[in-house]
Structure 1
């Protein structure tokens, strides 16, 4: 009986390791699209879902982001959301292109005078965007941050699932995504 239990334990452990390796082999590191048309990308986006993050801890509904191209080719970023008290809060920042295609940005929400401080900008990579610029998947080189954005406050289930599949392919844990109402 003891030998049977040990054999079962070894087989179960090997199966678990094999499944883990297989799951990881099916994912790839996040990759930004080659390029985006920043003029088409600009405008208002509604957040459909995001991975939990400190900066959004007070948000319970109506999360949106607005992007506007500045004269110096940076992008003005205005994030808004509703808190539990009903208050609308916002955070304004600036995004700096990190590649010629404008699909890899670094974003800072520090006050203008402090944006020079190293290591204070977050990655903002457009991982997927549909040809009409109606839906986007945004993340970074790690699997720490992820957002699904839409030009409309609601996204049909088939499109949502398709963007989840892309996120899974890049190794994101989509079981942790938070969807808040609009």
Structure 2
């Protein structure tokens, strides 16, 4: 009986260890620290996970402005309908930086009609010209840049998203400005 209990205990410990390793492997990557300048100006949407809200959207962008308090950001998300010269479509929201003063990398944005998204900055290029963000579950991912990237830079962006654990085959790359 003692050997059976010992065997089951070792088996249980092995299973718990395996579960821990698997859950760590499946966990979303850590956020990166961003400075206050990250939430200023316009970022061009280079790549994204397709979703109903962005059907027909091309030349997407997000423009950030300072909010009423240091931890709030006024957000304008926009795109053109069907072509880069199509009708402009915008939505405004108010973002609250959830980890203000530490990494500043997690922002929850409330849009009209009670639509809310949480964005986490997972990577920011060393020159701060582009970044990758995702929702906490990594089911939605976005690649943003200050300018339209060259083909080689776009390849680096996609490779980085893959290194972060995202299935880049899910991404779409609508025409930019």
* TM bracket, shorter-chain basis: 0.7 to 0.9
CA shift for structure 1 position 133: 2.0
CA shift for structure 1 position 165: 2.3
User: 1:85-104 alignment to 2 at 5 Å?
Assistant: 86-99=86-99, 100-104=102-106
In 1, Cα distance between equivalents of 2:126 and 2:66: 20
The one-character-per-residue Cα deviations of 1:108-154 (angstroms, maximum 9, x if unpaired) are 1126xx5xxxxx521101111123321010112212111111101x2
From the two aligned structures, give the one with the greater strand fraction: 2
In 1, Cα distance between equivalents of 2:157 and 2:33: 18
- Are 2:143 and 1:145 equivalent residues in the alignment? no
CA shift for structure 1 position 28: 5.2
Could you tell me which residue of structure 2 aligns to residue 106 of structure 1?
108
Give the number of aligned pairs.
150
The structure 1 segments of at least 4 consecutive aligned residues displaced by more than 3 Å after TM superposition are none
User: 1:34-53 alignment to 2 at 5 Å?
Assistant: 34-53=32-51
Q: What secondary structure is seen at the aligned counterpart in 2 of 1:92?
A: strand
- Choose the corresponding residue for 2:130, options 135, 139, 150: 135
Q: Note if contact 2:32-2:123 (Cα within 8 Å) is conserved in structure 1.
A: no
Root-mean-square deviation (Å): 2.4
In 1, Cα distance between equivalents of 2:26 and 2:124: 18
Q: What secondary structure is seen at the aligned counterpart in 1 of 2:169?
A: helix
In 2, Cα distance between equivalents of 1:163 and 1:124: 18
Q: What secondary structure is seen at the aligned counterpart in 2 of 1:164?
A: helix
- Normalising by structure 2, we get a TM-score of 0.75
- Normalising by structure 1, we get a TM-score of 0.73
Structure 1: segments with no counterpart, 5+ residues: 1-23, 115-119
Could you tell me which residue of structure 2 aligns to residue 172 of structure 1?
166
- Are 2:60 and 1:63 equivalent residues in the alignment? yes
In 1, Cα distance between equivalents of 2:27 and 2:158: 15
Q: Which structure is richer in relative contact order (CA contacts within 8 A, separation 6 or more)?
A: 1
In 2, Cα distance between equivalents of 1:53 and 1:180: 13
Q: Note if contact 2:74-2:95 (Cα within 8 Å) is conserved in structure 1.
A: yes
- Are 2:156 and 1:156 equivalent residues in the alignment? no
In 1, Cα distance between equivalents of 2:165 and 2:74: 29
In 2, Cα distance between equivalents of 1:33 and 1:48: 20
